[in-house]
Amino acid sequence: MNAPDPSAAGDPLLHGPRDPEHDPRASYALEPEYVAALTSRLLATSGEGRAVESPLAGQPLAHLPLSSTADVDEAFRRARRAQEAWARTSYAERAAALHRLHDLVLDRQDEIMDLIVWESGKARKHAFDEPLHVALTARYYSRTLARHLEPSRVRGAIPVLTRVDLSRVPKGVVGVIAPWNYPFTMALCDGIAALAAGNAVVSKPDSQTMLTALLGAQLLEEAGFPRDLWQVVHGPGSETGPAIVERADYVCFTGSTRTGRDVARRCAERLIGCSLELGGKNPILVLRDADLERAAEGAVRASFSNAGQLCVAMERMYVADQVYDRFVERFVARTEAMTIGATTGWDNDMGSLISAAQLETVVSHVDDAVAKGARVLTGGRARPDLGPYMYEPTILEGVTPEMTCFGDETFGPVIALYRFGDEADAVARANAGSYGLNAAVYSRDVRRARDVASRIRCGTVNVNEAFAATFASIDAPMGGMRESGLGRRQGAEGLLRFTETQSVATQRVMRFGPMLGMSDESYARMMTVSLRVLDKLGRA
C-alpha cells in the first residue's frame, strides 16, 4: 500500500515531543469558538461531559456535555410544540426550506467534509459522499413531497353515493438514533423525510461524531426550519436511546442487529412504528462473463470505502471458476495500488478506522482466520505508523465456517474470496446466513445478471456496480431483509412511513341499513343483488 508523505502540508501526523508546538495531540484540532457554537445546540444540562478525540492522530476535538433524562423530556416538549405549528405549513413552504438546505449543503461541503474527516478518520473522497447524499435527499423530497402527500380519492362502497378521501397525517415527533460511520448523512437523511412529512425530530447522534450532526442541525435552521423543530441530545446509547424510544411517536435506528432487536421490542410494547437499518454480511457475485477490470474496480470500492465501515459494504465475494485467477490478480493489484493514510486532504484512497474498539475487531477477525488456515493475499496488518487506528485493506482466501469472519460482520477493510462453479450454488451461498442488506452482481449479460439479482434475498442489489447505484437513487426504497432490518428509507416509502393514513368517507342519500320500513331480511336480499350487479360490472 502506498502512504502519503507525512510531511505534506495539512497532514496532522507530526513528530516531536508532546507539546502544542510539535504534537497535535497536545492541542485541540478545531477552533474552540467553532466547537462551542456547535455544542451550544445540544440540550444538555447534566453538568457532566465526555471528551472526544480525532482518530487521525488522537488529537482532542471537543468536550461534549451530556443530556439528562429531564433534558430528553424537555427536547420532546419543545419538539411537540414546534411540530403543531409545522404540521400546518404548506407543502410549498416545506419544499422551499428543503431546497435551501440542498443549496447550503453544496455551498458548505468543504466545511462539512473537514468535520467528517476530523471526527471519523475516513478519506476525504469518502466524506464527499455524505454532503452529496444529503443534498440529493433534500432535493428529492423538495420536488416530490406534495405528490406523495397530497390527499387522494378512492372508490367508495356505493358508486356515486359514497365518497372516500385519503389524507396523510404526520406521526408527531420522530426519534432518530444515528450511527458514527456516516455521521452527516445518517444524522440527517431520515429526519429530512420526517420534516417533509410534517413531523419534528429528536436526534441522538453517536458521541464519536456529534459535531458533524450538530453542524447538520445548524444548517437546517439556516435553511429556514424552526430551531425547536430539530432537537439534539447526547448520552450513552444504553440510557439516552431507550429514553427517546419511550417518548417518540416513531423511531428510526441505524446500528447493530442486537440493538435493533431491543429497539423493535420497545416500540412494539408501545405500539409505535420503527424503521431499522441493521447489520449485513454483503456478497458480490462475479459471473464467468463479467468485465473483470470493472468488477475489480467495483470490488475495491465495495470492500474498502470508509475502510469497510459502511452498512452496504461487501465482506464476501463469489467468483466463477473460469475467471477466478484472472480476477484475483486484478483485484489484488488494484488494492495494493491504494494510497492509505490519516490526513484531511484528497490524497488518500482509504482512511482510518474510527476507534481502538473497531481496530480490535478487525485485528481479531483476521488473526482468527489466519490461525485457522486462511491465506492473506494482501494486507492483514495494522499500520500505527500512519495513524493510531489504521489497518491495511485486506483480501483473504480459504475462509471457512469455523472462522469468525465467515459469518460475523467485521465492519472493516476485510473481504473473503470464494470460488464457485454453478451460479445456482453461488446464489444459495450468497443467501446463506441471516443477513440481507445489499449485494452486487457483475456480468456482461445484463438480463441474466438481473435474473440472478432477483434471486438474492437482499433489500438492494446492484448490477455492475458495488453499492452507489441504489444508494444514490433516492427515488428507490432502501433497506434490509431478514435480520438486516425493517422498513425503508428513500423514495415514497421513506416519506410515508412518517405518516398515518386517514380515511374520511362521506355518505349521501342512503344509509347502510334498512330504509322506508324495509325489513332486515329484505335489506339483505337487496344488498346481495347489488353485490352481484357490481360484480357483473367488474367492480373491485
Q: Which of 311, 315, 392, 458 is catalytic?
A: 311
Give the cell for residue 144: 416530490
Instruction: Name, in order, each residue with C-beta under 8 angstroms of 471's C-beta and a sequence gap of 6 or more.
Output: 133, 312, 460, 478
Rounded to whole angstroms, the Cα distance separating 174 from 495 reads 12
Residue 458 known to be catalytic: no
- Measured at the alpha carbon of residue 389, what is the angle toward residues 109 and 116, in degrees to the nearest 5? 10
Q: Which candidate, 201, 220, 268, 189, places its Cα nearest to that of 488?
A: 189
Rounded to whole angstroms, the Cα distance separating 52 from 214 reads 14
Q: Which residues of 64-94 are buried (b: 16+ CB within 10 A; e: fewer)?
A: bbbbbbebbebbbebbbebbeebeeeebeeb
Around 482, how many Cα atoms within 13 Å sit in the side-chain half-sphere? 16
Helical segments of 15-128, H only: 32-39, 69-86, 91-107, 109-120, 124-127
Q: How many Cβ atoms from other residues are within 10 Å of residue 396's Cβ?
A: 26
Q: What are phi and psi of 429, to 5 degrees?
A: -70, -35
Distance of CA 326 to the CA centre of its chain: 34
Rounded to whole angstroms, the Cα distance separating 5 from 8 reads 5
CA 363, 368, 371, 375 dihedral sign is: negative
Rounded to whole angstroms, the Cα distance separating 506 from 508 reads 7
Q: Residue 418: which H helix or E strand, with range?
A: strand 414-420
Q: Which of 53, 119, 130, 277 is catalytic?
A: 277
What beta strand segments (E) does 107-206 contain?
152-155, 162-170, 173-177, 200-204
Give the cell for residue 512: 347502510
Residue 405 known to be catalytic: no
Q: Which candidate, 25, 14, 29, places its Cα nearest to that of 62?
A: 29
Q: Which residues are catalytic?
A: 277, 311
